[in-house]
């Protein structure tokens, strides 16, 4: 396993391998999406909920300023800026809801929590929530809402700021520097997927048990910094009364191209390509469950700590400029990273347009090991990832050219996943997906 100096004495992060990384998120279909549906009917007209994209888009116009606040269950500020002190105006925000079991099990309760914390108190504060993230705290009785608020000052500039927040449950046997690197790159990966890789800014986020909460100086020493246009900003640190450690990052990256989010342009016959195989998170989790050495060669951790910035650069070459017309014969239609929901998320996205994903092959980083372990159902979904592969959908000729562009990137190992077919349904497959994805019910 790669060396991680961390601190002279690293905290005991506890946790379980099955729920580490992006493996322990609040269920989307059963809890989060129903809660958002309820929220959309009850939220005030001064708060706008975004469309649920991987990351939020803010047009470059002047300088980007940011401030954060952390609210408790009563919508009282406990860390960062008090909403009463936030100036009137327009804000874009990304955030994370860290919720105890009583909220996590009820769409109605989650909706009420989001409503109270998204509606900031200022009468003339307009808050557009571009990206929300929901993480369970199974051992806590407290809940928190983190919001990173962005506003623009001045005018002028080109391109887009892509903003995102993501967080992961701590890995039991990794030191803080590796935990922080994975969390940072996992958050940036959503920006990379849309071609944004310039002027990167990172606000570290750490949620820790009361007695073990680190200082801001310590947290900044854990997170990657320096070089290649990466700037670490003041961290958000939250204490809670449970045992869980959460590492996260609120990130900004700039792109000068139009993001590849043209889902309505996807049609039957379009190809689906991954920039690398799947299974890094599952390889670690199944090793622990199988009582075998956890990632002895460091392959899985290497994948999760890989900076996909060069892949973003390749993606940007297949995107139109803002004043250029989109051409499906030249440009990528959709790019997204594979995260907690696994490849099923790709199918959910295209199903809204009466399409489904047909899986021709399931590329895994260690197929023989994962196939053998899944015969005993050691993890529910082998395709669940943290800082996972970036998936690209487009005309077969475009994805072929994109695949060729990855040849000079050492960390890339592109593999075809499948094609898009007519009809909204569960995924169909040429491979036995039911062996790898517990909830899969297709053929």
> Taking 60 as the threshold, does the pLDDT of residue 344 lie above it?
yes
CA angle 84, 78, 6 (to 5 degrees): 135
> Taking 80 as the threshold, does the pLDDT of residue 144 lie above it?
yes
Helices (H), 194-234: 216-222
Give whole-number Cα distances, 420 to 273, 319, 336, in Å: 11, 20, 15
Confidence category of residue 9, pLDDT binned at 50, 70, 90: very low
239-269 residue pLDDT tens: 998 888 999 999 999 999 999 999 999 999 9
pLDDT for the residue numbered 98: 92
CB 57 within 8 A of CB 48: no
On the CB side of 246, CA atoms within 13 Å amount to 33
CB 204 within 8 A of CB 269: no
154-166 residue pLDDT tens: 888 889 999 999 9
**For the chain, what are the domain ranges?**
17-255, 263-435
Per the model's pLDDT, the better-predicted residue between 431 and 376 turns out to be 431
Mean local confidence (pLDDT), 322-350: 94
Say if strands 198-209 and 230-232 run parallel, antiparallel, or are unpaired. Answer: parallel
Rounded-to-integer distance, Cα 370 and Cα 365, Å: 9
- Sort 217 into a burial class: Cβ within 10 Å, 0-12 / 13-18 / 19+: exposed
* 17-255: CATH class: alpha beta
- Which residues, in sequence order, are CB contacts of 129 under 8 Å at separation 6+? 47, 48, 49, 50, 93, 94, 95, 118, 147
CB 278 within 8 A of CB 379: no
Q: What is the average pLDDT value for the chain, to the nearest integer? A: 87
Residue 179 has phi, psi (to 5 degrees) of -55, -45
pLDDT for the residue numbered 300: 84
- Sort 368 into a burial class: Cβ within 10 Å, 0-12 / 13-18 / 19+: exposed
> Taking 80 as the threshold, does the pLDDT of residue 173 lie above it?
no
* CATH architecture assignment, domain 263-435: Alpha-Beta Complex (3.90)
> Taking 60 as the threshold, does the pLDDT of residue 17 lie above it?
no
> Taking 70 as the threshold, does the pLDDT of residue 397 lie above it?
yes
Mean local confidence (pLDDT), 184-189: 96
Mean local confidence (pLDDT), 289-299: 64
352-369 residue pLDDT tens: 999 999 999 999 998 877
> Taking 70 as the threshold, does the pLDDT of residue 293 lie above it?
no
pLDDT for the residue numbered 24: 58
Helix (H), strand (E) at residue 397: helix 396-405
CB 145 within 8 A of CB 167: no
- Sort 206 into a burial class: Cβ within 10 Å, 0-12 / 13-18 / 19+: buried
Rounded-to-integer distance, Cα 302 and Cα 197, Å: 20
pLDDT for the residue numbered 274: 98
> Taking 90 as the threshold, does the pLDDT of residue 20 lie above it?
no
Confidence category of residue 1, pLDDT binned at 50, 70, 90: very low
pLDDT for the residue numbered 10: 47
Residue 151 has phi, psi (to 5 degrees) of -145, 160
Question: Most confidently modeled of 268-272, 281-285, 372-376?
Answer: 268-272
Rounded-to-integer distance, Cα 373 and Cα 125, Å: 52
pLDDT for the residue numbered 295: 64
CB 7 within 8 A of CB 206: no
Confidence category of residue 84, pLDDT binned at 50, 70, 90: confident
CB 149 within 8 A of CB 69: yes
Confidence category of residue 5, pLDDT binned at 50, 70, 90: very low
What are the tokens at 183? 């969390």
Residue 313's closest CA among 417, 201, 412, 167?
412
Give whole-number Cα distances, 187 to 184, 234, 252, 330, 434, in Å: 5, 17, 9, 28, 29
Sign of the alpha-carbon torsion through 313, 315, 318, 321 = negative
User: Tokens 């990855």 sit at which residue?
Assistant: 406
Spell out where 225-369 has E strands. Answer: 230-232, 236-240, 246-255, 271-274, 334-337, 355-359
Weakest mean pLDDT among 53-67, 169-183, 282-296, 370-384: 282-296
Rounded-to-integer distance, Cα 216 and Cα 221, Å: 9
pLDDT for the residue numbered 36: 87
> Taking 50 as the threshold, does the pLDDT of residue 41 lie above it?
yes
């Amino acid at each position: 396993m790669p060396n991680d100096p961390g601190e002279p004495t690293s905290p005991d992060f506890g946790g379980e391998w099955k729920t580490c990384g992006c493996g322990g998120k609040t269920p989307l279909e059963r809890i989060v999406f129903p809660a958002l549906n309820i929220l959309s009917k009850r939220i005030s007209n001064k708060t706008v909920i975004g469309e649920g994209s991987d990351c939020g888009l803010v047009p470059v116009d002047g300088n980007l300023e940011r401030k954060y606040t952390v609210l408790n269950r009563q919508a009282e500020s406990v860390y960062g800026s008090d909403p009463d002190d936030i100036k009137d105006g327009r804000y874009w925000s990304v955030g994370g809801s860290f919720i105890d079991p009583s909220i996590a099990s009820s769409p109605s309760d989650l909706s009420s929590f989001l409503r109270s914390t998204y509606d900031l108190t200022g009468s003339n504060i307009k808050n557009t929530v571009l990206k929300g993230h929901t993480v369970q705290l199974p051992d806590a009785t407290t809940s928190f809402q983190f919001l990173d608020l962005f506003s623009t000052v001045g005018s002028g500039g080109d391109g887009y700021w892509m903003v995102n927040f993501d967080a992961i449950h701590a890995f039991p046997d990794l030191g803080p520097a590796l935990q922080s690197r994975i969390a940072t790159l996992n958050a940036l990966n959503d920006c990379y997927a849309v071609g944004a890789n310039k002027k990167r800014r990172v606000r570290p986020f750490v949620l820790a048990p009361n007695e073990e909460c680190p200082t801001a100086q310590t947290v900044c020493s854990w997170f990657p910094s320096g070089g290649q246009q990466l700037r670490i900003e003041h961290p958000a640190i939250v204490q809670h009364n449970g045992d869980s450690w959460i590492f996260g990052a609120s990130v900004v990256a700039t792109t000068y191209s139009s993001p590849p989010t043209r889902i309505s342009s996807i049609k039957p016959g379009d190809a689906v390509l991954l920039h690398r195989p799947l299974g890094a998170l599952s390889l670690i989790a199944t090793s622990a469950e199988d009582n075998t050495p956890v990632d002895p060669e460091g392959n899985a951790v290497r994948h999760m700590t890989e900076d996909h910035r060069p892949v973003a650069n390749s993606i940007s070459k297949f995107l139109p400029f803002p004043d250029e017309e989109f051409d499906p014969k030249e440009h990528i239609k959709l790019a997204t990273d594979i995260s907690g929901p696994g490849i099923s998320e790709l199918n959910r996205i295209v199903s809204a347009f009466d399409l489904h994903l047909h899986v021709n092959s399931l590329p895994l980083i260690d197929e023989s090991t994962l196939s053998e372990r899944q015969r005993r159902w050691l993890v529910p979904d082998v395709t669940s990832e943290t800082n996972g592969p970036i998936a690209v959908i487009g005309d077969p000729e475009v994805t072929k050219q994109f695949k060729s562009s990855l040849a000079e990137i050492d960390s890339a190992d592109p593999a075809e996943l499948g094609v898009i077919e007519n009809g909204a349904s569960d995924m169909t497959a040429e491979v036995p997906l039911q062996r790898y994805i517990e909830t899969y019910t297709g053929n």
